[in-house]
Amino acid sequence: MKQIDNSASCDYDSPDTASRKEAIPLTKALITVTGLDTTGIIARVATRLYEMNINILDISQTILGGYFTMMMVVDLDGATLSFQQIDDALQPVRDELKMAIHMQRMDIFDAMHRI
């Protein structure tokens, strides 16, 4: 029986990734998606982000009483669009899914919670 090597994992706090974080600062944003649950929400949002070369760093989602709620931390460094253009490019997804999709710079989000 072949054994599976589970040692490869994404550890954000490993010494290797910690040094990369210091060398290459990430421009992060927090994206929230809320509305009535339906099929394909994560796929549709993730596909649009992929099309803009935006990497999803972390994601959490839940369904509360039929309402879908998702939070994503994304890396904007690879995107060729401005923050406003990215937000505008999410509008067709908002319209299609009939969901509230908000994008906020992570540095502003972090600062609000330090006060």
Task: Tell whether 34 is covered by a domain.
Answer: yes
> Quick one: what percent of the chain has pLDDT higher than 70?
74
* Residue at token pair 């997804």: 93
Q: What share of the chain is helix, strand, coil (3-state, %, to 5)?
A: 35, 30, 35
Task: Give the per-residue pLDDT at 109.
Answer: 65
Q: Is residue 78 part of a domain?
A: yes
The 10s digit of each residue's pLDDT in 53-80 is 999 999 999 999 999 999 999 999 999 8
How many folded domains does the chain comprise? 1
CA distance 99 to 32: 10
- What is the C-alpha separation between 82 and 76, in angstroms, rounded? 9
Instruction: Assign 21 to helix, strand or coil.
Output: helix
Parent domain of 99 = 27-114
Average pLDDT, the chain: 82
CATH number at residue 32: 3.30.70.260
Residue 12 falls inside a structural domain: no
In a domain, 47, yes or no: yes
